[in-house]
């Protein structure tokens, strides 16, 4: 099966991707890593304009998409804050979409209403990238997670096929882990261990999806058991903002820290987290006492967001093939990259 | 009469323009349409910086000015949201203006106080473009309206000279229709039909201006009569934000929809609207049931904002003559343009 | 003593600079003045991305840093307004810092907490520039003040060494004047006259620092005496936002206006102010009746912000030596510069 062309496509769901397409995208991301690190420059999108429409606050996704598009040579225009003035005057999303289509070459949109991005995309002829639609999906986050995971495993001589994957924490809410399960299901013979408090289990539909594709699916509320033997430990923050009232934090046994890893984890496990992690006392999110543990891949993971989003934008705008010939060395200072092959992989970062 | 040079000029009012100047500006806009559509690239303003100072919320004007300046190769810096920090500390607008003049090559400014943009412009030696000053003017909107209208008429084999123009709705408030009347008055032998509820009529001064330039001016509160025979039907949103208390929406007979057009309009009429249109039930603004009617030109109209603003910025910064030699093909994917020669002219847009 | 290389350094405090380093930086700023004025173009940072993280509102510093980085060819991505979403979800500043390091080549940060910028800088391998940390420091403002002062004095045939410097107003609060004292102390045989109301005197530590470096330090609460014979009169705004309750404005004798200068000042004095100045009636800040007095250097001073910040960014990113060969003429219109050699030095600016 050859890769699907992404040129001109909306990117709304992680369901759109098959393995050959992912592999082609990730090969392009590999090529773009020196650009992401400020070691090389490309200007293939010089003259192109991205519209960045965030109807919901964001720091990480917004800055990361900005930087990715700018490093391809393009320019970014933002809507003011989280409100769209014209919509407050009664304009339909379809009208807004058609209007913005006359300004930009591509749109990245975040909207708290799950349907909004679909409505927006249906009304425009330029590509729309879903930057997070409420409790729905966050496909670019899922892509960067999978890319980072595949590069971690490759470094360790492992493959995703056949791996034991532990997903830990609030598996009920949180679009990131849902999108990731969809992408992981494209691989073969996984064991997916869902480790969550009883009231925060993975939705049944996703468990069935994975099982239906031939993966072994396990569920437990005991992290000590669930983490044992896992090749990937994927921790998640408690999505408190999606609960109606106040919510109790994770119990102590859900805190993934040095002690828990010493008791359960493989020496070559990979520990990931979509970030932000909640570092407040008592939150029991992924512990900072792992900051110098080489298994902790959370910053290599977030770094992967730039090359993956660059590869996605380049593919959607049909300039992927122009990348190799376009690369030239950057001439500004760039500190030694603190990246995938370093352990400990960052400096000066208190643990 | 030769065109007036716009180089170095502030653009504060539609009164600044005469016909030769408009024609020269619109010829440059024609040349820039492929750039606006992402089919060609120019970098004549590479290195130039625009200051975008919006003291009042905006989506459309802000994004459109951004995109236009960026597509010329320039960079844009925004003030944070609608507040200017230094002004809250007691700084005069004149001081702010002089300070920003040391940062930028050009400023676009929106301010709710009609006088502010004039005060700002008086204190700076760089060009200032009025992006809307309260109930005053919005000259770049008027320019794009006139440009879009002239290109629609040209396509239909008509001219603005001698045309029958129906302006419909809230003609009392709304700077857009006021600025448009000023520009239309530069043409010859128009019939301008003002169609509004009795309490929302066009200001007398503008009626006198048009009449004084030899145009025929009519007034009616009956859309069924006013739209008959019109070459242009220019609908406007009820400017509810400019009323003191609550305000009743347009009555049903003011809703411009398929039924009204079937009963009154020419087969080659052009229907325009400055947008946003209020699509909420009962608003009786321009109806979405016209979305597939080829006479509806509202999106061709908004698309015109990019080439017109590019032409304006290029002229004000004196690089208009460098444009032709600067154009090169864009190499990224661009969907087939859904534009002026298409009917229905957009896809996937629910009606 | 040779200059210290700034390449890869954080810029957190004015204490980091010695005289040879300042002189090298200012020589680069001289070279970049035509770029700052839109007369020349350089693109040495094409492809580089600055993260602009303002956790506190700002207009002047934010726009000025944007413009400086853009005029070097770089792109700027901003966090949304003053809040950082991820931090509200419990993310530590160290995590935020490490994440942003994977997106950008350099960060400019303003934060109301004095320690935050230090915490942020400790967690990243890319350079961080302090854009103002609460009541702490504002090193780029101090650098531009000193650069502007040195160029004013050079024009007048004076040197900073041996000069009589009157600092006037709220010397207790306000990081600008504190940072300036630190930089001025690097020079020789100054007389520093601190002119303030008794409750707003310069902190003792700074007086001791200056005295310890061999400067003569005087204090007075009488502007009529303090300004006499001064080569530099550096006025400051009352930092009302740093007082707990309401605060009385400066008394009339603290208003620096034409009458006071006529009674006290040298004919070749230089009058500076970090801006914004409070022009509200009764504020008794630096008076607008001096607007046409050639001794008033406040706008030449603010203009200096662009070349100084360009020089700083270029130095920190190690491209300073590439600047001379990179310069090319700008081709867009630029009004005659209203700058250092003009008196009166600006037009159309009401006084």
Pick from C75, C81, C330: which is nearest to B81 by CB? C81
CA distance A176 to chain B (A): 29
The answer to whether C121 and C53 have CB atoms below 8 angstroms apart is no
| 3-class secondary structure, C271 | strand
According to the model, what pLDDT value does residue A246 have? 77
Range of the domain at B317: 14-137+305-329
- In sequence order, what are the beta bridge partners of A218? A193
Does residue C83 have a pLDDT over 90? Answer: no
Omega within 30 of 0 (cis) for the link into B344: yes
pLDDT, mean of residues B186-198: 97
ipTM score of complex: 0.94
CA distance B76 to chain C (A): 8
For residues A318 and A182, state if they share a domain: no
Domain count, chain C: 2
> Rounded to whole angstroms, how far apart are CA atoms A289 and A311?
34
**Minimal Cα distance from B70: which residue of A?**
A75
Alpha carbon separation from A201 to A135, A196, A231 (Å, rounded)? 15, 6, 21
* First-residue to last-residue Cα distance in chain C: 46
Closest CA to C302 of B150, B86, B203: B86
According to the model, what pLDDT value does residue C84 have? 64
For residues B54 and B196, state if they share a domain: no
Confirm whether B174 is domain-assigned. Answer: yes
Indicate which of C72, C112, C249, C276 best probes the interface with B, i.e. most B CBs within 10 Å of its own CB.
C276
Confirm whether C4 is domain-assigned. Answer: no
For residues A226 and A246, state if they share a domain: yes
Contacts of B319 in chain C (CB under 8 A): 331-333
For residues C96 and C209, state if they share a domain: no
Does residue A153 have a pLDDT over 90? Answer: yes
Confirm whether A7 is domain-assigned. Answer: no
For residues B151 and B294, state if they share a domain: yes
The answer to whether B31 and B324 have CB atoms below 8 angstroms apart is yes
Task: Choose between A110 and C174: higher pLDDT.
Answer: A110
Contacts of A96 in chain B (CB under 8 A): 59, 276
Inter-chain residue contact C123 with A349, CB threshold 8 Å: yes
Contacts of B280 in chain A (CB under 8 A): 90
Own/partner pairs for A340-346, CB < 8 Å, 24+ apart? A340/A151, A340/A152, A340/A155, A340/A300, A341/A155, A343/A294, A344/A291, A344/A292, A344/A293, A344/A294, A345/A294, A345/A299, A345/A300, A346/A291, A346/A299, A346/C98, A346/C123, A346/C125
Confirm whether C113 is domain-assigned. Answer: yes
User: How many CB pairs (< 8 A) connect A and B?
Assistant: 136
Indicate which of A77, A277, A332, A342 best probes the interface with C, i.e. most C CBs within 10 Å of its own CB.
A332
pLDDT in tens, C309-341: 999 999 999 999 999 999 999 999 988 765 544
pLDDT in tens, C100-130: 999 999 999 999 899 999 999 998 989 999 9
pLDDT, mean of residues A285-304: 93
| 3-class secondary structure, A235 | strand
DSSP B97-137: HHHHHTT-SEEEEEESSTTHHHHHHHT-SS-EEEEEETTS-
Inter-chain residue contact C99 with A277, CB threshold 8 Å: no
> Rounded to whole angstroms, how far apart are CA atoms C104 and C86?
17
Confirm whether A349 is domain-assigned. Answer: no
For residues A104 and A151, state if they share a domain: no
Closest CA to A38 of B146, B37, C49: C49
Contacts of A125 in chain B (CB under 8 A): 335-336, 338, 346-348
> Rounded to whole angstroms, how far apart are CA atoms A148 and A141?
11
Confirm whether B351 is domain-assigned. Answer: no
**What tokens appear for C164 in the block?**
């009589």
> Rounded to whole angstroms, how far apart are CA atoms A200 and C5?
54
> Rounded to whole angstroms, how far apart are CA atoms B144 and A99?
14
According to the model, what pLDDT value does residue C292 have? 85
Given pLDDT bands bounded at 50, 70 and 90, which one contains residue B341? very low
Given pLDDT bands bounded at 50, 70 and 90, which one contains residue C138? very high
Chains that touch B (3 or more CB pairs under 8 A): A, C
Q: How many helices (H) does chain A have, and how many strands (E)?
A: 13, 11
For residues A153 and A293, state if they share a domain: yes
Inter-chain residue contact A349 with C322, CB threshold 8 Å: no
- Residues in Cβ contact with B225 at an 8 Å cutoff, skipping those fewer than 6 apart: none
Given pLDDT bands bounded at 50, 70 and 90, which one contains residue A351? very low
Pick from B46, B51, B124: which is nearest to C63 by CB? B51
Pick from B70, B278, B338: which is nearest to A75 by CB? B70
pLDDT, mean of residues A78-106: 83
For residues A118 and A256, state if they share a domain: no
> Rounded to whole angstroms, how far apart are CA atoms B68 and B244?
35
Does residue B347 have a pLDDT over 50? Answer: no
Confirm whether A334 is domain-assigned. Answer: no
For residues A153 and A289, state if they share a domain: yes
Inter-chain residue contact B333 with A322, CB threshold 8 Å: no
Pick from B8, B96, B122: which is nearest to C333 by CB? B8
Pick from C75, C81, C316: which is nearest to A81 by CB? C81
| 3-class secondary structure, C50 | strand
pLDDT, mean of residues B136-159: 95
Inter-chain residue contact B90 with C302, CB threshold 8 Å: no
For residues C89 and C154, state if they share a domain: no
Contacts of B84 in chain C (CB under 8 A): 59
For residues B39 and B102, state if they share a domain: yes
Inter-chain residue contact B319 with C305, CB threshold 8 Å: no
Inter-chain residue contact A79 with B59, CB threshold 8 Å: yes
Confirm whether C2 is domain-assigned. Answer: no
CA distance A179 to chain B (A): 27
Given pLDDT bands bounded at 50, 70 and 90, which one contains residue B174? confident
pLDDT in tens, A242-256: 777 778 889 999 999
For residues B33 and B171, state if they share a domain: no
Inter-chain residue contact B105 with C42, CB threshold 8 Å: no
pLDDT, mean of residues B67-77: 98
Inter-chain residue contact C302 with B102, CB threshold 8 Å: yes
Inter-chain residue contact B319 with C333, CB threshold 8 Å: yes
- The CATH number assigned to the domain holding A200 equals 3.40.50.1370
């Amino acid at each position: 099966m050859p890769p699907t062309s992404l040129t001109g496509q909306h990117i709304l769901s992680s369901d759109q991707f098959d393995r050959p397409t992912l592999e082609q995208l990730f090969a392009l991301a590999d090529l773009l890593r020196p650009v992401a690190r400020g070691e090389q420059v490309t200007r293939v999108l010089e003259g192109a304009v991205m519209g960045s429409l965030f109807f919901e606050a964001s720091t990480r996704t917004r800055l990361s998409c900005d930087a990715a598009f700018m490093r391809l040579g393009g320019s970014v225009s933002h809507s003011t804050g989280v409100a769209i003035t014209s919509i407050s005057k009664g304009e339909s999303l379809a009208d807004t979409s058609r209007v913005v289509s006359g300004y930009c070459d591509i749109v990245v949109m975040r909207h708290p209403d799950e349907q909004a991005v679909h409505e927006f995309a249906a009304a425009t002829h330029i590509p729309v990238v879903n930057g997070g639609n409420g409790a729905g999906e966050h496909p670019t986050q899922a892509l960067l997670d999978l890319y980072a995971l595949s590069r971690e495993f490759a470094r360790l001589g492992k493959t995703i096929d056949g791996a034991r994957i532990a997903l830990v924490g609030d598996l009920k809410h949180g679009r990131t882990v849902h999108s990731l399960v969809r992408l992981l299901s494209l691989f073969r013979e996984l064991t997916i261990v869902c480790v969550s408090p009883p009231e925060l289990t993975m939705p049944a539909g996703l468990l069935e999806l994975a099982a239906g594709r031939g993966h072994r699916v396990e569920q437990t509320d005991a992290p000590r058991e669930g983490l044992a033997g896992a090749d990937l430990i994927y921790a998640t923050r408690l999505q408190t903002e999606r609960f109606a009232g106040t919510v109790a934090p994770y119990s102590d046994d859900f805190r993934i820290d040095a002690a828990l890893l010493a008791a359960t984890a493989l020496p070559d496990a990979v520990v990931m987290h979509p970030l932000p992690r909640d570092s407040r006392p008592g939150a029991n999110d992924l512990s900072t006492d792992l900051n110098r543990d080489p298994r902790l891949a959370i910053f290599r993971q977030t770094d992967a967001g730039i090359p993956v989003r660059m590869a996605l934008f380049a593919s959607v705008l049909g300039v992927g093939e122009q990348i190799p010939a376009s690369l030239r060395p950057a001439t500004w200072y760039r500190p030694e990259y603190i990246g995938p092959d370093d352990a400990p992989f960052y400096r000066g970062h208190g643990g």
